[in-house]
């Protein structure tokens, strides 16, 4: 059988059918993964378009020319949309729809008004080259951030296809002996082969990206499962310790273990009270983080006097510093007077940061809270001279239910929610939390709030220690 364009189209239709079926099968098993459905729909539309062209002799001209090429055009645009979804990028459906409409108008004009197959083919190839270039740009941007190898492979395929389409477009300008894509010419054969390469190459590249994404998700799930098990074990210890103390001391008082009216019972009562309060704080933190994850946190905002806010936090945290032999001091910039925020949540942020700083600072060290404001917003910065952390330690400290274990901190209380909760509460106010640390030197944590939340004027300078 001679290798004419009709034969090549039959092969293209067969390959497109297999690719479409494969990607739909892939989608059926991984529905939550964004982008797969768009790529599957793209392959299906390409299959329908290629089939319509192959059956051109049996179909009305408008269907076999305009409709089929519109289907192919939408198929390519869906590749762009699907990749944006897959990579978590913002897609602009209105712009994509406008591109399809513009292409269809151009194709219809050069089919019926000023018939010119050369112009249609050149525009066709340039349009799809531009789609591949847009995909290439997205993939390279993502690869620069993630260094995922499958993204580089897919980017290479997109770049190859873009160059191939452009070369075919340039070569098509020299073609004068063809009326449509089914005409048996070298350029037309190259165009159909290019479509074959696209369907096969792009399907394989996308499948590789999905496979690597699934492997990464599985690894993250395994790590999360291990961390959850560690967190549950740690939480069990943290909850059992105060409960055992409460039960033990209460039982000693109830049984009059030291005799009636023993003065030590008063100390036991204080221990029960302290253990109960600590248990309540743990439960509150767990409930807060669960509420935030469920999107149920509501901020009760009001205008806060910053000096009063910092002063109240300092009074609450001072006993911890005295107990551990750590000097705690605070400073409020003279120009920073008012913050619009939820007072309970801002106090919670600062108390969590200061508690962490004191916990990881040896006796004789210093912890400092600074409140400043400028054109970029308000900053509450907690600096300590504690044990510090490396990059992995910072990552662990920012992970829920994880703790940074060192010889200095081993055995101390906490379930690993202080810093993650501070991050979540700061984000709830539209801000961010930055952590810098050096092992052996200390840590600096900054809770930054957007400028619209703070007011500045020239009050009397306030400093506390």
Average pLDDT on 86-94 reads 85
Tokens of 203: 């399907």
Q: Where is pLDDT greater, at 234 or 164?
A: 164
Q: Same domain, yes or no, for 65 and 167?
A: yes
Q: CATH number, domain at 418?
A: 3.30.565.10
121/378 Cα distance (integer angstroms): 58
Based on the fold, state whether residues 54 and 120 are members of the same structural domain.
yes
Q: How confident is the model at residue 103 (pLDDT cuts 50, 70, 90)?
A: confident
Distance of CA 86 to the CA centre of its chain: 12
> What is the rounded average pLDDT for all residues in the chain?
86
Tens of pLDDT, residues 28-78: 988 889 999 999 999 999 999 999 988 888 889 888 888 998 999 999 999
**What distance lies between CA 200 and its chain's CA centroid?**
30
Q: Inform me whether the pLDDT recorded for 403 exceeds 70.
A: no
Domain boundary among 293, 328, 347: 293
Q: Which of 135, 43, 156 is nearest to 83 (CA)?
A: 135
Shared domain check, 380 and 267: no
Q: Cα separations (Å) of 416 from 97, 324, 362, 404?
A: 48, 20, 19, 8
Distance, first Cα to last Cα, the chain: 93
**Residue labelled with tokens 């112009």:** 119
Contact 325, 364 (CB under 8 A): yes
Looking at the structure, do residues 262 and 314 belong to the same domain, yes or no? no
Query: Under a CB-based contact definition with an 8 Å cutoff, are residues 253 and 259 in contact?
Result: no
Query: Is residue 381 domain-shared with residue 255, that is, in the same domain?
Result: no
- The answer on pLDDT for 365 being more than 70 is yes
Q: What is the dihedral of CA 72, 74, 80, 86, to 10 degrees?
A: -110
Mean pLDDT of 308-323: 89
State the pLDDT at residue 40: 94
275 — pLDDT class (breaks 50, 70, 90)? confident
Q: Is the pTM of this model over 0.85?
A: no
> Is residue 422 located within the same domain as residue 363?
yes
* Residue 231 pLDDT exceeds 70: no
What integer pLDDT is reported at residue 297 of this predicted model?
A: 81
Euclidean distance between CA atoms 393 and 423, whole angstroms: 16
- Top pLDDT among 281 and 440 is at 440
The DSSP output letter for 173 is: T
Residue 398: per-residue pLDDT: 80
Tell me which of 161-165, 212-216, 346-350, 413-417 is least confident. Answer: 413-417
- Is pLDDT at 367 greater than 50 in this prediction? yes
Q: Which of 293, 312, 332 is the last residue of a domain?
A: 293
Parallel, antiparallel, or unpaired: how do β-strands 377-384 and 442-449 relate? antiparallel
Q: Of 48-52, 231-235, 242-246, give the lowest mean pLDDT range.
A: 231-235
Q: Which residue has the tokens 């990607």?
A: 23
User: Quick one: 193 and 229 in the same domain?
Assistant: no
- Side-by-side strand order, sheet with 336-341: 302-305, 336-341, 454-456
Measure the CA–CA gap between 238 and 278, rounded to whole angstroms: 10
**Which residue intervals of 294-404 are DSSP H helices?**
306-324, 343-359, 391-397
pLDDT band at 464 (very low <50, low <70, confident <90, very high): very low
Q: How far does CA 197 lie from the centroid of its chain?
A: 33
**Residues 249-270: tens digit of each pLDDT:** 888 888 888 888 788 888 888 8
Q: Which residue has the higher pLDDT, 174 or 72?
A: 72
pLDDT at position 383 over 90: yes
138/63 same-domain check: yes
Q: Is the sign of the CA dihedral 32, 35, 40, 44 positive or negative? A: positive
Question: Residues 425-457: pLDDT tens digits?
Answer: 999 899 999 999 999 899 999 999 999 988 766
pLDDT given for residue 232 in this prediction: 66
Q: How is residue 19 written in tokens?
A: 């690719």
447 token code pair: 């809770």
Domain with residue 276: its CATH number is 1.10.287.130
Strand duo 462-464 + 327-332: pairing = antiparallel
At 96 the pLDDT is 85
- Residue 389 vs residue 278, higher pLDDT: 389
Among residues 337, 336, 317, 339, which one has the least CA distance to residue 328?
A: 317
Instruction: Name the token pair of 134.
Output: 């847009």
Q: Which residue has the tokens 């253990």?
A: 275
What's the CATH code of the domain at 193?
1.20.1070
| pLDDT confidence of residue 465 | 47
Rounded CA-CA distance 431/426 in Å is 5
- Residue matched to tokens 């200390």: 442
Minimum mean pLDDT range among 102-106, 129-133, 283-287, 461-465:
461-465
Confidence of residue 295 (pLDDT cuts 50, 70, 90): confident
Residues 360 and 401 in one domain: yes
Last residue of a domain, one of 222, 246, 266: 222
256/395 same-domain check: no
**For residue 422, is pLDDT > 50?**
yes
User: Which two structure tokens, joined as six digits, stand for 387?
Assistant: 């044990």
What's residue 335's pLDDT?
87
Q: Note down the domain range covering 68.
A: 5-222
**Partners of residue 380 on adjacent β-strands:** 371, 447
Give the number of domains in the chain.
3
pLDDT for the residue numbered 2: 46
Q: Would you state the structure tokens that stand for residue 354, as one six-digit string? A: 């200061």
Same domain, 243 and 217: no
Looking at the predicted structure, is the pLDDT value of residue 368 above 60? yes
Mapped onto helix, strand or coil, the DSSP state of residue 219 is helix
Find out whether 388 and 439 touch, Cβ atoms under 8 Å.
Answer: yes
Residue with tokens 């990028």, as numbered in its chain: 89
CA distances from 391 to 111, 131, 142, 383, 437 (A): 62, 39, 23, 17, 8
Nearest to 157 by CA among 172, 171, 143, 169: 143
Higher pLDDT, 197 or 223: 197
Three-state DSSP state, 458: coil
**DSSP classification of residue 57:** G
252 in the same domain as 147: no
Residues in the chain: 465
Rounded to whole angstroms, the Cα distance separating 355 from 328 reads: 11
């Amino acid at each position: 059988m001679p290798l004419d364009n009709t034969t090549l189209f039959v092969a293209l239709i067969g390959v497109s059918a297999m690719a479409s079926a494969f990607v739909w099968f892939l989608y059926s098993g991984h529905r939550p993964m964004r982008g797969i459905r768009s790529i599957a729909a793209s392959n299906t539309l390409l299959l329908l378009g290629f089939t319509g062209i192959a059956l051109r002799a049996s179909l009305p001209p408008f269907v076999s020319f305009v409709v089929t090429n519109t289907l192919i055009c939408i198929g390519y645009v869906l590749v762009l949309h699907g990749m944006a979804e897959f990579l978590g990028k913002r897609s602009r459906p209105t712009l994509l729809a406008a591109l399809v409409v513009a292409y269809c108008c151009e194709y219809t004009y050069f089919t019926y008004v000023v018939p010119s197959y050369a112009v249609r083919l050149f525009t066709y190839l340039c349009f799809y080259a531009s789609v591949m270039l847009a995909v290439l740009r997205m993939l390279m941007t993502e690869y620069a951030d993630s260094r995922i190898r499958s993204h580089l492979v897919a980017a290479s395929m997109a770049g190859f296809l873009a160059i191939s389409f452009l070369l075919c477009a340039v070569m098509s300008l020299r073609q004068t002996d063809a009326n449509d894509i089914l005409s048996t010419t070298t350029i037309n054969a190259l165009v159909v082969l290019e479509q074959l390469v696209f369907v096969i190459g792009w399907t394989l590249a996308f499948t590789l990206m999905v496979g690597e994404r699934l492997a990464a998700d599985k690894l993250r799930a395994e790590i999360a499962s291990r961390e959850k098990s560690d967190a549950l074990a740690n939480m069990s210890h943290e909850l059992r310790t105060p409960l055992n103390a409460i039960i033990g001391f209460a039982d000693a008082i109830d049984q009059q273990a030291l005799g009636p009216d023993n003065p030590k019972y008063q100390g036991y009562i204080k221990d029960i009270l302290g253990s109960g309060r600590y248990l309540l704080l743990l439960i509150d933190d767990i409930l807060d983080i669960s509420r935030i994850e469920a999107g149920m946190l509501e901020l009760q905002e009001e205008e806060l006097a910053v000096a009063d806010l910092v002063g109240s936090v300092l009074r609450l945290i001072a006993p911890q510093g005295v107990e551990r032999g750590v000097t705690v001091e605070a400073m409020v910039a003279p120009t920073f007077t008012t913050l619009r925020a939820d007072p309970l949540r801002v106090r919670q942020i600062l108390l969590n940061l200061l508690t962490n700083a004191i916990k990881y600072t040896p006796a004789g060290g210093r912890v400092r809270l600074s409140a400043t404001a400028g054109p970029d917003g308000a900053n509450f910065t907690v600096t300590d001279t504690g044990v510090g952390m490396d990059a992995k330690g910072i990552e662990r400290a920012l992970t829920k239910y994880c703790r940074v274990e060192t010889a200095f901190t081993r055995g101390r209380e906490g379930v690993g929610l202080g810093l993650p909760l501070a991050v979540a509460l700061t984000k709830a106010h539209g801000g961010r939390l930055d952590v810098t640390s050096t092992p052996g030197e200390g840590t600096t944590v900054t809770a930054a709030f957007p400028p619209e939340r703070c007011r500045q004027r020239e009050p009397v300078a306030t400093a506390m220690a």
